[in-house]
Structure 1
């Protein structure tokens, strides 16, 4: 802890009248006495400075390529999210702990070279200050990126009709957790508000430790949840927690001295001088740009998406008036009608039409699940796989509508079943009935009669009647 509390305020009587006048006429940097750091403190600082600099400063040329290629006049909130989500990755597109080992090895080598070339340095107070500044803003950007997609509840949205009609045992653990949070939008918004508040506290030096203190248990809970439910964000969450721990550690010695030892404790007094107006103005401009981009503009873009297009689900329009779950009353294949069966791999059990252009079919046909455990924000409908990732027992199809010919062209959305494509004609003899006929991907002729079920869902009824009142189903 000694590394984190090197600044000592001089006591009264240590200067004569002339020296006091000199002190008052200089910058804030020289108003405090800075003792020489111990050798091990300088060694540790060199390592942490290089290590965290590599974690914070993007060194991947593709990052800057993507940054330059952005259309700044029609930005999507996902552009801001990925700008704030950078981490050095050496092995895959998904962060892994092995990346930390590589970064640590580079930091050790760099610290050795730095130490040999800079043996006379007494202390690194200025560099320590600027390292904390970089970590504060990097952590704030990450918290804002996740905070707003929770505050406007999109990261874990309400379950789709297909999800609500999938057996619990056919849903992956991480998807269960996501849907369990998504059914309480108010709670998800509160979680986002905590992240946003902590991020705003990090933007100011005097409240940075409070923000770090808040985010350590919050991010710790995210890490444990991802480990328990087999999510994929525990590595990135651990990285953010390490930033917060390092920031909070700066004030830990003073907090212990004040609260546990009950001693008179001076606040940190070190602050680099900004005597040059150009430097002072540049600092204000850069901070203002950060706040405008990651708070104001990002919040506006996120709210716009929440109002018009929740990114987890496709935004293409589905068959008008068809949304709902349908039981399969008749199923004929190659002219032969198949009766309902719990084991038949061919016969459909039920069909769900979503409000968007997704049709899901529950049957005994095996499903190779597609996994998407890390947070991704896509604008292309074909890339939005949240609704069917982490589930089995249902095949999900996107479809195009030819309303003139009454034809649906279906394509299995799961990349493991990409060859499953076919075309069906549809008839609608009644509002609650749909008849599908055509040739499937195996060149078998199909005729399927569907009847919509007037099914009530507890979530929807609770929203209508109020959670505190008795539900009438």
Structure 2
């Protein structure tokens, strides 16, 4: 399989051969899916609207041995398996002088595994979906009521052009990995990029630090192939010969097969995935529900009157049951601000869900407000509310609504089955984020 230049490669030392055996087994287990569920999902992929969702979820594969959440304990198991395999391999293949061919194929596997990983994330940044613009509820939540990771996400979401730039960089690095000759350039882009993501996740308590570090290790292995030669050439200014080892495909089916597989990867992982992601961007952020809310109700409302169990309660910032304000989103979410404590939903892992009930981004990492999805009975004028926070699985409210201009009156039963009555007045509130977008660079911003 190798060309004649393989004979010019130096003989590997015993330590190098043992280290390679371990690295080959370790990274092969980390990169190549061995879980049957992966192939079940692969062969049942949605080729329609949610193709980008299914491919994104598949691209995040990592071997799990301990529950659904990835931990470094899974890496330890992979390393243990690789150590055992290295011992057996060393005993049965002690006379081998080099592993140039296997090293080449390991790099091929890591190149494409890393490429799909960064490209999948790159497109949901290029079309700013990963960190969307804040919702009305987010814009009316105190800064201190957000977790560090939610603040990071919201800060990225308010600058979609910068988010798109990050996605473009990530995609560029991934595309460079698809050609053997530009792989090192791609890793020089990806390593600092993924390193920054890893550090950001640590600093802001994000949930992607393990996966981002896994991709970083793939990039480091690929960069190591040329690292010594680059150091000699750039730092020591010494003559350096490139490693020109490559396989030779003698059979016609091998050459055409290689071309077909590469073309298929580029079509499905780049062009089709990019097209479907752009189409999803046009329909709205996947992190927010898609079911429309009460027509004409979107906005923030002051709670002018509030009665609980027949007792009128005046406005108070400290009362645990008195509503302070209510937000109707454009989708079917109502958020209620009160002094009632919130058990935080600490979900901080990137996920793309198909159903609205699983889309918890709007309240994840946010205290100070309780978020409810609602169903509308337009005939009886009844809203059936259900708390979106998974920590309140049984909390429901059934409220009759009367919508008149800028006023909405709600009456019914709350989560404790007590009667509740609230008169809501819509506030004509302007947001700096929206006004700045309207003004652009053309004039003075006035609120």
Q: TM-score under structure 1 normalisation? A: 0.92
Cα deviation for residue 263 of structure 1 reads: 1.6
Q: Distance in 2 between matches of 1:142 and 1:68?
A: 19
Aligned equivalent of 1:159, options 122, 130, 134: 134
Give the corresponding residue for 1:16: none
Aligned equivalent of 1:140, options 111, 115, 118: 115
Check the 8 A contact 2:184/2:222 in 1, yes or no: yes
The reply on whether 1:174 has 2:161 as its aligned counterpart is: no
SS of residue matched to 2:324: strand
Aligned equivalent of 1:247, options 217, 222, 247: 222
Q: Distance in 1 between matches of 2:352 and 2:325?
A: 30
Check the 8 A contact 1:171/1:390 in 2, yes or no: yes
Cα deviation for residue 257 of structure 1 reads: 1.4
Q: Distance in 2 between matches of 1:435 and 1:349?
A: 15
SS of residue matched to 1:366: coil
The answer to which of 397-406 and 39-48 deviates more is 397-406
Check the 8 A contact 1:312/1:384 in 2, yes or no: yes
Q: Distance in 1 between matches of 2:269 and 2:304?
A: 53
Check the 8 A contact 2:435/2:445 in 1, yes or no: yes
SS of residue matched to 1:208: helix
Aligned equivalent of 1:58, options 29, 33, 46: 33
The reply on whether 1:433 has 2:407 as its aligned counterpart is: yes
Check the 8 A contact 1:29/1:271 in 2, yes or no: no
SS of residue matched to 1:415: coil
Check the 8 A contact 2:197/2:209 in 1, yes or no: yes
Cα deviation for residue 358 of structure 1 reads: 0.2
Check the 8 A contact 2:49/2:276 in 1, yes or no: no
Give the corresponding residue for 1:308: 283
Aligned equivalent of 1:236, options 179, 203, 211: 211
Q: Distance in 1 between matches of 2:126 and 2:289?
A: 21
Query: Gaps spanning 5+ residues in structure 1: where?
Result: 1-25
Give the corresponding residue for 1:418: 393
Q: Which runs of 4+ in 1 moved over 6 A?
A: none
- CA distance change for structure 1 residues 29 and 73 in 2, over 3 Å: closer, same or farther? farther
Cα deviation for residue 32 of structure 1 reads: 4.5
Check the 8 A contact 1:358/1:398 in 2, yes or no: yes
Q: Distance in 1 between matches of 2:253 and 2:336?
A: 64
- CA distance change for structure 1 residues 115 and 449 in 2, over 3 Å: closer, same or farther? same
Check the 8 A contact 2:2/2:246 in 1, yes or no: no
CA offset digits 1:440-463 (Å, max 9, x no partner): 121211110000101110100110
- CA distance change for structure 1 residues 462 and 327 in 2, over 3 Å: closer, same or farther? same
- CA distance change for structure 1 residues 295 and 317 in 2, over 3 Å: closer, same or farther? same
CA offset digits 1:274-304 (Å, max 9, x no partner): 1211111110000001000110110011011
The higher radius of gyration belongs to: 1
- CA distance change for structure 1 residues 249 and 69 in 2, over 3 Å: closer, same or farther? same
Check the 8 A contact 2:313/2:322 in 1, yes or no: yes
Q: Distance in 1 between matches of 2:2 and 2:372?
A: 67
Q: Distance in 2 between matches of 1:75 and 1:350?
A: 36
Aligned equivalent of 2:56, options 77, 81, 84: 81
Cα deviation for residue 75 of structure 1 reads: 4.5
Query: Gaps spanning 5+ residues in structure 2: where?
Result: none
Give the corresponding residue for 2:233: 258
Cα deviation for residue 188 of structure 1 reads: 0.2
Q: Distance in 1 between matches of 2:379 and 2:12?
A: 80
Cα deviation for residue 28 of structure 1 reads: 2.8
Give the corresponding residue for 2:163: 188
- CA distance change for structure 1 residues 309 and 460 in 2, over 3 Å: closer, same or farther? closer
Check the 8 A contact 2:176/2:182 in 1, yes or no: yes
Check the 8 A contact 1:311/1:378 in 2, yes or no: yes
CA offset digits 1:315-347 (Å, max 9, x no partner): 000000100000000001122211111211111
SS of residue matched to 1:416: coil
Give the alignment of 1:360-375 within 5 angstroms: 360-375=335-350
Q: TM-score under structure 2 normalisation? A: 0.98
Cα deviation for residue 469 of structure 1 reads: 4.6
RMSD of aligned Cα (Å): 1.3
SS of residue matched to 1:290: helix
The reply on whether 1:198 has 2:163 as its aligned counterpart is: no
